[in-house]
Amino acid sequence: MIPDYPPGHDLLAGKVVVVTAAAGTGIGSAVAKRCLEEGAEVIVSDWHERRLTEKATELEALGKVHAIPCDVTSEDQVQALVDGAVERCGRIDVLVNNAGLGGTASVLDMTDDEWSRVLDITLTGTFRCTRAALRRFVAQGGGGAIVNNASVIGWRAQAGQAHYAAAKAGVMALTRCSALDAAEHHVRVNAVAPSLAMHPFLAKVTSDELLRELEQREAFGRAAQPWEVANVMVFLASDYASYLTGEVVSVSSQHP
């Protein structure tokens, strides 16, 4: 049974939040929506400009939202995202690193290009955005929060997922290490590791048979809703998590 959608409680009131890869129907757009409902001013970003504009228009009814296109494989675009957010809002307080790319290929058949593209978007893109945000937080005098989207696949083996698993394991390690680098500047860096969050794109690229198998592994017998993952990301971004850094929180009901 899917629980009722919870109301906002101003957990992010007065904060400026940047969310990457927020134009789709998955976790990114869900976290942007939740941040608005929790009182934040939100900058949504994505590489697909048309979808990004449509998503920003859709979210405008909930609060103050801005759209800035960004391809996280480009250092110049990442820097333009941070600079644009500061230009529009005066500062940034939270970065949600949601951009990532998956795929299925055996190591035996995987090409260098397939490997490199997943790593460049999912891991190096997270690094680029983290670096740019941390430099901005320091320039502002310190303080701030970064929330990364990892995956339980960074811990658990799955056939055909070597590139994605390596990237997400890297995001976990990046989270832990950058948290120590950022601590002296009073910046917190944490991550979530979802197991299975259902949204239309996942349903489109995954067979019904595999989805049923994955759902059966979950203790609740169902996939998470994207907003259930977003709720945990909002908590990590909020002052309720003020003493939490370098942690990877599993958002999963999956049993062994």
Check which CATH number belongs to the domain holding 242 and give it: 3.40.50.720
Does the pLDDT value for residue 197 go beyond 90? no
- Print burial letters for 97-133: b (CB count within 10 Å at least 16), e (below 16): bbbbbbeebeeeebeeeebeebbbbbbbbbbbbbbbb
Percent of the chain with pLDDT over 90: 84
Residue 153 tokens read as: 């696949």
Query: What is the per-residue pLDDT for 121?
Result: 98
Burial class of residue 189, CB neighbours in 10 A (0-12, 13-18, 19+): buried
Does the pLDDT value for residue 94 go beyond 60? yes
Query: Measured between alpha carbons, how far is residue 92 from residues 165, 210, 244 in Å?
Result: 30, 40, 19
Residue 10 lies in a domain: no
Residue 4 lies in a domain: no
What mean pLDDT is predicted for residues 220-249?
Answer: 95
Residue 256 lies in a domain: no
Query: Measured between alpha carbons, how far is residue 22 from residues 82, 90, 250 in Å?
Result: 15, 21, 21
Residue 146 lies in a domain: yes
Strands laid side by side in the 94-97 sheet: 65-67, 41-44, 16-19, 94-97, 144-149, 187-194, 248-251
CB–CB of 62/33 below 8 Å? yes
Cβ partners under 8 Å of residue 246, min gap 6: 175, 176, 179, 180, 189, 190
Query: What is the per-residue pLDDT for 202?
Result: 54
Residue 137 C-beta-side C-alpha neighbours within 13 Å: 27
Catalytic site includes residue 164: yes
What mean pLDDT is predicted for residues 83-96?
Answer: 98
Q: By residue range, what is the domain housing residue 154?
A: 16-251
CB–CB of 82/134 below 8 Å? no
The residues pairing with 149 across neighbouring beta strands, listed in sequence order, are 192
Furthest-apart CA atoms within the chain: distance in Å: 51
Residue 106 lies in a domain: yes
Q: Exactly one of 5, 164, 240, 243 is catalytic; which is it?
A: 164
Based on the structure, what is the number of domains in the chain? 1
Task: Say which residue the tokens 């529009």 belong to.
Answer: 88
**Residue 197 DSSP symbol:** B
Does the pLDDT value for residue 255 go beyond 90? no
Task: Say which residue the tokens 């949601």 belong to.
Answer: 98
Does the pLDDT value for residue 205 go beyond 60? no
Residue 8 lies in a domain: no
Q: What is the pTM of this model?
A: 0.94
Residue 7 lies in a domain: no
Query: What is the per-residue pLDDT for 201?
Result: 57
Does the pLDDT value for residue 251 go beyond 60? yes
Phi and psi based region of residue 130 (left: phi greater than 0; alpha: psi -120 to 50; beta: remaining): alpha
How many residues belong to the chain? 256
Work out the pLDDT band at 200, boundaries 50, 70, 90.
low
Supply the mean pLDDT for the chain: 93
What mean pLDDT is predicted for residues 91-111?
Answer: 97
Residue 51 lies in a domain: yes
